[in-house]
């Protein structure tokens, strides 16, 4: 049985994520939308969704949580970051005048338009495929080059290439997923990505690295 905390810090499509998790979960699984650090500590799995700008996202996180305590909890649980929930794991973001982030993964969130060889509309919005760079339970029964739904203008650029889980091309090739130990985080939205997105969420719930 999994106890899943969908973190509510005032931003993100938390209800659609929770609804998708409920659709794929076992009846014994418990899913909470919560901003309570006590409930988050008691969960087995954490989902950290997000959307919008890095500065306002980090401001909301600081307003709701002690950052050191939050990092410690993240390190102890199965963790899934979605969209901005991926970008804020980086050391910093180039968005605006720059923003310090959670520094769980070493690297930056960068503006996609600065790296495109072919200039395409931003935000990158709609369906695109992913290239899998390593095996991971999160992508069990999902084929390479499968399509998922994206909405973003920034992408993560991790220093450690071994942490890159998947890449996607939109005028340039960018990192669309990272993983390390108990962490997995995705630029796309599995909750909006039809059957393959639901498989990703189901795989997350059943992930066991013990």
Flag whether 25 is in a domain: yes
Nearest to 107 by CA among 33, 164, 46, 27: 164
Q: Which residues are catalytic?
A: 83, 189, 191
Nearest to 49 by CA among 27, 34, 62: 34
Flag whether 191 is in a domain: yes
Q: Which domain holds residue 181?
A: 3-205
* pLDDT at 11 > cutoff 80: no
Flag whether 148 is in a domain: yes
CATH number of the domain to which 104 belongs? 3.40.50.880
Share of the chain above pLDDT 90, in %: 89
Three-state DSSP state, 135: coil
Share of the chain above pLDDT 70, in %: 99
Flag whether 210 is in a domain: no
Flag whether 74 is in a domain: yes
Cβ proximity of 44 and 25 under 8 Å: no
Flag whether 153 is in a domain: yes
Flag whether 38 is in a domain: yes
Please, which pLDDT band fits residue 158 given cuts at 50, 70 and 90?
Answer: very high
* pLDDT at 166 > cutoff 90: yes
Flag whether 42 is in a domain: yes
Read off the pLDDT of residues 30-65 as tens digits, 9 standing for 90 and up: 999 999 999 999 999 999 998 888 999 999 999 999
Cβ proximity of 35 and 8 under 8 Å: yes
Q: Which residue has the tokens 């719930």?
A: 205
Q: How many domains does the chain have?
A: 1
């Amino acid at each position: 049985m999994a106890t899943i905390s969908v973190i509510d810090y005032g931003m993100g499509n938390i209800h659609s994520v929770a609804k998708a998790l409920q659709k794929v979960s076992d009846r014994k699984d418990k899913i909470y939308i919560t901003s309570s650090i006590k409930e988050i500590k008691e969960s087995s799995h954490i989902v950290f969704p997000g959307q919008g700008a890095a500065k306002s996202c980090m401001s909301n996180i600081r307003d709701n949580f002690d950052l050191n305590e939050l990092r410690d909890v993240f390190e102890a649980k199965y963790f899934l970051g979605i969209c901005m929930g991926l970008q804020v794991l980086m050391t910093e973001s180039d968005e605006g005048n720059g923003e310090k982030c959670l520094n769980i993964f070493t690297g930056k969130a960068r503006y996609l338009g600065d790296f495109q060889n072919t200039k395409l509309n931003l935000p990158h919005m709609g369906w695109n495929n992913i290239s899998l760079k390593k095996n991971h339970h999160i992508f069990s029964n999902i084929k390479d080059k499968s399509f998922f739904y994206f909405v973003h203008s920034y992408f993560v650029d991790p220093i450690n290439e071994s942490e890159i889980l998947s890449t996607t091309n939109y005028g340039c090739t960018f990192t669309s997923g990272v993983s390390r130990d108990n962490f997995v985080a995705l630029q796309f939205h599995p909750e909006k990505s039809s059957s393959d997105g639901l498989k990703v969420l189901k795989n997350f719930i059943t992930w066991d690295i013990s």
